[in-house]
Amino acid sequence: MPQHQVLIVGGGLAGMRAAQKAQELGMDVAMISKIFPTRSHSAAAQGGVQAAVSEDDSWESHAYDTVKGSDYLGDQDAIEILCSEAPDDIYSLERMGVVFNRTEEGKIDARAFGGTSVKRTCYVADQTGQVLLHVMWEQLIKSGLKVYSEWFVMDLIVEDNKVAGCVAMEIPTGKIEVFRSKSLILATGGIGQVYSPTTNGLVVTADGQALAYKAGATLMDMEMVQHHPTTMQANGVLITEGARGEGAYLLNSKGERFMEKYAPNMKELASRDVVSRAETMEIREGRGVDGCVFLDLRHLGRDLIMTKLSQIYELSRDYANTNILEAPVPIQPGHHYIMGGIKTDVDGRTWDVSGQNRWQGVEGLFAAGECANVSVHGGNRLGGNSLLDTIVFGRRSGQGSTDYAKSTDWVNIDENSVIRGAEDKIKEIFARPSGGLRTANLRSEMGSAMNDGIAVFRNEEGMKKTLESVRSVRDRFPKISLDNKGKIFNTDLLSVLELEFMLDVAEVIGIGAIERKESRGAHAREDYPDRNDEEYLKHTVVNLDENGEPKLNYIPVTMTQWEPQVRTY
């Protein structure tokens, strides 16, 4: 049984940053990832990472923009940490080798992004995430981190509400193994495939959120799901906000720059929730074409496009058959990100270390990155703040998990029974008579239902219908049968396990969304169009109760220096 003081599940930016920190602090660390680390979805981040590095900027201004962007649902103590620690983290990434674009003086350059009062988004052309991810990976080669690549974590092991490790399957061989650890950090990314379509990759399947929830941790503000204003119709692939940051326009079918109407000051660079709603209104009122409006980059000129947005040039050519140098590209709002996630404190702990049990958690279990909710994004994340979240809170959870591991003993594990449990689960799936339901059909039923009812605009009836569909898919889930019953690289099996994770999480999203009877950030309700601070300036928290049913509750938002105000752009 492999054993490490700190075990990290997830090889994206958050996981690598946590591993780096814990290793630096002298821990025996290992990282488990279901795909090779550089394949992680962090690579897909195009636009950039926010940090107040320019002279005319300040971390307070960054924090205010983030609080406002969050529609006042973000915890202000966490936001202060995120923004004040950002510059040092960005500088340290630069010194590790990130090739940030530069200013004339050779300093790190920043571009404009939505919802920010100054240019604050540091970038590497339109491939920021990929470069950050590769540089972090290089650092882990340098330090000789132990990586279990292509191992799929099936379950967490918890004894007396204390984490003891996890059980995982080696994908190329089908071997099942127990991993023992003192601290365990979940850094498994988002929930993208719960929605169809989505900008997220095929492996982004809510694993960590579901694992934590089943183990007894809390999921917070899961109804806060972000739709990005510029995604491609054919397959949901993203066009970075950096395009608008560099000056691209949004046009309706009449050729009008419609954002002037919805956000007279910031126009195309208003917050994502605002822009996605504006586009949806235009399309609904008949000023779209085939469900899309247009992103026009032509006036930016060939030089700028080819140096700073070349990936967008390629993606538009490949997936929308459009040459952006010559024509506007059709785009629509599409699922992109989840602000909600596993509730943690600012050191990544999922349990309430104060001992007051203000929320339910699992001792020794940590979370960081998109799967966690600290909460810095609240009701709406600003572009460029998510990469930053992975870096700052990845590092802090590396520290937190080290402190915890030093202070605790190993928990005993009945290895054989855990392995048998995992094997039995797979045997049961293999034993189902063939000719049953197909995973892909159920997955797309769930994805379409989520996109119909819990997307840019929401209402009670639509959300209830979505929740019913999700539960109906879950009822039929045991009737799925597989074509592949082999051990070696059985992706057929992985898809079923992933769908199970996603169904749990989809249900929690639905429950929280129906009960939040107001409009805030990404949660825009037609039946409750206004923000209601009196009743809903609070976090939605969902746990499993003793009977294994979801239980909804609320906890207060932490305020430090910014009182809620009317939010206009």
Ligand X SMILES: Cc1cc2nc3c(=O)[nH]c(=O)nc-3n(C[C@H](O)[C@H](O)[C@H](O)COP(=O)(O)OP(=O)(O)OC[C@H]3O[C@@H](n4cnc5c(N)ncnc54)[C@H](O)[C@@H]3O)c2cc1C
Q: Return residues touching another protein (CB under 8 A).
A: 35-36, 38-41, 43-44, 53, 87, 91, 94-97, 99-103, 105-109, 124-125, 127, 130-131, 134, 138-139, 141-142, 172, 201-204, 234-235, 237-238, 307, 311, 314-315, 318-321, 438-441, 482-484, 486-492, 495
For residue 218, give every residue at least 6 positions away whose Cβ sits within 8 Å of its Cβ, in sequence order, or none.
Answer: 342, 343, 350, 359, 360, 361, 541, 542, 543
Report CA dihedral (63, 66, 67, 70) to the nearest 10 degrees.
-160
Q: Which of ligand X, another protein, none does residue 319 bind to, with CB < 5 to 8 Å depending on kind?
A: another protein
Q: Judging by DSSP bridges, how do beta strands 365-367 and 176-186 pair with one another? A: parallel
Which CB, 41 or 516, lies closer to ligand X? 41
Q: Which of another protein, ligand X, none does residue 130 bind to, with CB < 5 to 8 Å depending on kind?
A: another protein
Mark whether 272 is an active-site residue: yes
Q: How far is the CB of 109 from another protein (least distance, A)?
A: 7
Cα 471 from Cα 507, distance rounded (Å):
7
Cα 403 from Cα 174, distance rounded (Å):
34
Which positions touch ligand X (CB under 6 A)? 9-15, 32-35, 37, 40-42, 44-49, 128-129, 152-153, 187-190, 199-200, 204, 207-208, 238, 240, 337, 369-371, 383-387, 390
Sheet holding 249-251, edge to edge: 225-231, 329-338, 293-296, 249-251
Which CB, 198 or 540, lies closer to ligand X? 198
Q: How many secondary structure helices (H) and strands (E) does the chain include?
A: 16, 21
Q: Which of ligand X, another protein, none does residue 48 bind to, with CB < 5 to 8 Å depending on kind?
A: ligand X
Q: How far is the CB of 481 from ligand X (least distance, A)?
A: 22
Cα 64 from Cα 149, distance rounded (Å):
40
Q: How far is the CB of 517 from ligand X (least distance, A)?
A: 28
Report how far apart the first and last C-alpha atoms of the chain are (Å, whole number). 55
Which CB, 31 or 266, lies closer to ligand X? 31
Structure tokens at 378: 């609240």
Which CB, 74 or 462, lies closer to ligand X? 74
Q: How far is the CB of 167 from another protein (least distance, A)?
A: 22
Q: Output b/e per residue, 311-338; b: 16+ Cβ within 10 A.
A: bbbebbeebbebebeeebbbbbbbbbbb
Q: Which of ligand X, another protein, none does residue 298 bind to, with CB < 5 to 8 Å depending on kind?
A: none
Q: Which of another protein, ligand X, none does residue 410 bind to, with CB < 5 to 8 Å depending on kind?
A: none
Q: How far is the CB of 371 from another protein (least distance, A)?
A: 16
Q: Which of another protein, ligand X, none does residue 387 bind to, with CB < 5 to 8 Å depending on kind?
A: ligand X
Residue of 272, 381, 458, 516 marked catalytic: 272
Which CB, 30 or 467, lies closer to ligand X? 30
Nearest to 221 by CA among 74, 6, 328, 36: 74
Q: How far is the CB of 483 from another protein (least distance, A)?
A: 4
Q: How far is the CB of 296 from ligand X (least distance, A)?
A: 21
Structure tokens at 261: 């109407």
Which CB, 81 or 238, lies closer to another protein? 238
Which CB, 237 or 266, lies closer to ligand X? 237
Cα 300 from Cα 325, distance rounded (Å):
9
**CA 522 to the chain's CA centroid:** 14
Distances (CA, A) of 553 to 105, 173, 358, 467: 52, 42, 11, 18
Query: For the residues of 349-386, what is the DSSP string, one character each?
Result: BSS-TTSS-SS---BTEEE-GGGEE-SSSTTSPPTTHH
Q: Which of ligand X, another protein, none does residue 100 bind to, with CB < 5 to 8 Å depending on kind?
A: another protein
Sign of CA dihedral 424, 426, 429, 430: negative
Q: What angle do CA 329, 334, 335 make, to 5 degrees?
A: 150
> What are the residue numbers of the active site?
272
